[in-house]
């Protein structure tokens, strides 16, 4: 097995284990047993369990880098928010463990929170805030709204929808085929609210 293969296997095995049990809930022995490698491989490739966890988080939160691309699109702010919602729904479909890492790190932060998680989330929030300010400046959004409060509400709607999926499976159809309807509903709530 090549160095890249062994490293990739360790990350692939560690991702669902850490997502399910958290950093402290997974032992080095469990990781190497699940990966089918020697105990020394985690130290050899990562320098220890903490660095392996950091590599998993880096891979998971790297997907948030795509948000920066949205701001460079030739769209109006409303179009950019719609693209953000669509890409966030898609991101959770393709990275089913990402939201678990979000919640785990926000509620029980590890040293990786300050180094990986917080900067990644902060970049997204600042980009969305910039888009909202652009919408205020162009008269597309209400001036009296606080940009950060508004984008936190939007991000919260999307994140909470997916976070509650295990609880709401009997209440709402979470099938990927329904994603465009979800995007439309979220955009409608975001832009028009719920009052008639």
For the chain, which residues score pLDDT lower than 70? 1-4
pLDDT at 4: 66
SS (H, E, C) the chain: CCHHHHHHHHHHHHHHHHHHHCCCCCCHHHHHHHHCCCCCHHHHHHCCHHHHHHHHHHHHHHHHHHHHHHHCCCCCHHHHHHHHHHHHHHHHHHCCCHHHHHHHHHHCCCHHHHHHHHHHHHHHHHHHHHHHHHHHHCCCCCCCCCHHHHHHHHHHHHHHHHHCHHHHCCCCCCCHHHHHHHHHHHHHHHHHCCCC
pLDDT at 9: 94
pLDDT at 76: 95
Domain range annotation of the chain: 3-57, 60-192
Which CATH superfamily includes the segment(s) 60-192?
Answer: Tetracycline Repressor, domain 2 (1.10.357.10)
CATH 1.10.287.610 assigned to 3-57: no
1-24 tens-digit pLDDT? 565 688 999 999 999 999 999 999
User: Structure pTM?
Assistant: 0.90
């Amino acid at each position: 097995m090549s160095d890249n293969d062994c490293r990739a296997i360790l990350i692939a095995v560690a991702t669902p284990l850490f997502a399910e049990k958290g950093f402290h809930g997974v032992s080095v022995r469990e990781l190497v047993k699940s990966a089918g490698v020697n105990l020394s491989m985690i130290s050899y490739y990562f320098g220890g369990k903490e660095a392996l966890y950091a590599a998993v988080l880096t891979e998971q939160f790297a997907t948030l880098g795509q948000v920066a691309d949205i701001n460079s699109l030739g769209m109006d702010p409303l179009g950019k928010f719609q693209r953000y919602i669509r890409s966030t729904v898609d991101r959770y479909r393709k990275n089913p463990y990402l939201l678990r890492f979000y919640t785990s790190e926000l509620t029980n932060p590890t040293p990786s929170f300050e180094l990986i998680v917080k900067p990644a989330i902060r970049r997204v929030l600042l980009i969305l805030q910039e888009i909202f300010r652009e919408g205020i400046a162009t008269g597309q959004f209400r001036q009296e709204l606080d940009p950060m409060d508004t984008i936190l509400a939007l991000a919260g709607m999307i994140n909470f929808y997916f976070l509650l999926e295990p609880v709401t499976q009997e209440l709402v159809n979470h099938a990927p085929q329904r994603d465009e309807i979800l995007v439309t509903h979220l955009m409608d709530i975001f832009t028009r609210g719920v009052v008639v």
